[in-house]
Structure 1
Amino acid sequence: MLDITEELRAWAEEGRDFAVATVVAVGGSAPRGPGAALAVDSAGTVIGSVSGGCVEGAVYELCQQALADRETVLERFGYSDEDAFAVGLTCGGVIDILVTPVAATAPARTVFRSALSAAARGEPTALARIARGPAELLGQALLVRPDGSYEGGFGGHPELDRTAAAQARAMLDAGRTGTVDLSEDGSHCPGGLTLLVESNVPPPRMIVFGAIDFAAALVRAGKFLGYEVSVCDARPVFATRARFPDADDIVVDWPHRYLRRTTTDARTVLCVLTHDAKFDIPLLTAALRLPVAFVGAMGSRRTHADRERRLREVGLTEGELARLRSPIGLDLGARTPEETALSIAAEIVAARRGGTGVPLTGSDTPIHREGAERGAAVAA
């Protein structure tokens, strides 16, 4: 739901009644993941998407019905072998959709408004809703903050509220959106309650070291992928706003010194494009010992071999060196800065999603790995 924050916030402030359809779980080759949402207001206006077009018409009708009868429903859509053009996902996937009416007088309205306002301000919060369980609890909401405080609740079940808040806080800390199974006494229990948690966290960081032409193209690619992008170079003549108009931040400092003082987390991507040993070695020594998502370095294979030798000499272990992606990027035959940026961005996505980087043509690997991993649970 938080992927359509701005529009929903406007609707809430205008006092509109609306229904929100949110992807709860996916299996197989479903096009969108948990948290993707479509909303319909009482005038029939629609925003968002839950399937890239496969089942939007049917979900639209479900939203209109939810607005009419004020009831939350959980609906499953999947592929039909008998009629591929029937309502379903012709790509072969399965998705569960939670449809929640949000009327101006509904108790959950306040929680929804708080969640949308926090998302619009960029404040980290987690919105937790009952996605599977007793009908009277479906769609009820709880908003959880990083300190563990929360508002809202699940119909007079304080222990369930506390358990759900703890689980939502853990997912918020990890920046994850997804489902978790709960029972009312707080223990994990398949067949009990299923909680959908949507985490709203700041965008992940991409730090590009080396203010070269390739870096300018990579900054644009990083912004396209949704990263907050910083550029760092020790040379003030190159690290300028004129050269990097799309960067969120431009830092003139020695790369390793900046890395040690800036904030990183498990989602941070570090791209080292300096390919100069006096910058690379102290920078990579620090980077490969940080719990970040991705560390890649540009350079030829000869440069890479020399870089590895130098890093071993300063004490990096084989396990730490194994984290280094060098030469950075997938083999696309890239030549231009834009093509090179595309190859680097492709490797970052593959690392994040568990992809192989091989062509899908002629391959039997799953297209959507996260969906494939959850497929058995969804189909159960």
Structure 2
Amino acid sequence: MAEEHLEATDRDAVFPEQALAQMRRTGLLGLLVPAEHGGCSGTLTDLVDVSMALGRVDMSVGMIFAMHCQQSEAIVRYAASPLREELLAQLAAGDLYLASVTTEPGKGGHLFRSYAPLQESDDDTLMIDRVAPIVTGGAAADGFLITMRSPHATADHHVSLVYAHRHQLRIEGAGEWCPMGMRASHSLPLTLTGSIPARQVIGQHGAFHQIAQSVFGPLAHIGWSAVWLGTAAGALSRVVRLLRDPAGRKRFDLSSQLLMTRLSRVRQRLDTVHALLRRTETLAASDVDLSDASSQLLLNSLKITASEECYRAVDELVDAVGLRHGYMQDSPTRLEKSLRDLRSAALNYSNDRLHLADGQLCLLDPDVRFV
């Protein structure tokens, strides 16, 4: 379904409604929801496998799915009753597509900080007034997980996570979504205002850092990396099929040492990312403390490595097959689109910011321990 509408959603920079409808129908939106609530009881491995498969077809669709699963896992682990049961039933039924509202003007990507105050009202409700410069799929979302400065906070890092259903908010979009790549993600800036019952706090007030370290961060880096790897692997697969096709053999010199070397390097990059992804997946699925310096270093290394190596792999494929099949939009290899999409990977929670954090984490691990 995603591939059928791929050209139109990329050309027009519109949300892939047909792909989302398939996720609803097939139960994918409830992949991580426990079976007792009607979900699939999927594992982290399932999330990685599905994200890779979707990334092979369309990176925007893969990222939409992976980010939704990140939000749903936060509900599974941290939402309290009866909100937890209400939302899990909706997720399992395919009635709840979740969008993440963590970006905020002026904070420069600091996930653990928020300036927008969450205000308490006398009638046991919470008032939301939130501007977000980027909300992936926000125009199509049924519900939102929103970070805000906690009531009675004494510092910007006292952040709460709240759930708001679409009908509880007034949602205003601004501007147009016209990016170089990731065009179908439709990540418009939004202003969200409204009120929600106080029971819709996810976890404890001011304790978002715990959710971020145990769910948001790990599932983001693992899910995103799986999508990026799928995108690059799909590109390599289409190139190899082109080269193996009898018609293709007349256009390419398969005895070329340069071509074979480039294919080898591309495959090496992807195998490296795959090995690091599976190692990190195993770690995150264990009982290890993911806030530990060594674990954080591995998670950040996965994100940085996957974002850089997958992009470089596709860039090298462009050189390998040349102008006609590496640069043109109408090539069956779709390298031009893959390259545009993957260019966003290093910017999606900036690698520069992660390197800065990793440098500080290195000082906390003088024995250089590996997990």
Q: TM over 0.5, yes or no?
A: no
Greater helix fraction, Structure 1 or Structure 2:
2
The TM-score normalised by the length of structure 2 is 0.25
TM-score, normalization by structure 1: 0.25
Where relative contact order (Cα < 8 A, 6+ residues apart) is larger, the structure is: 2
Greater strand proportion: 1
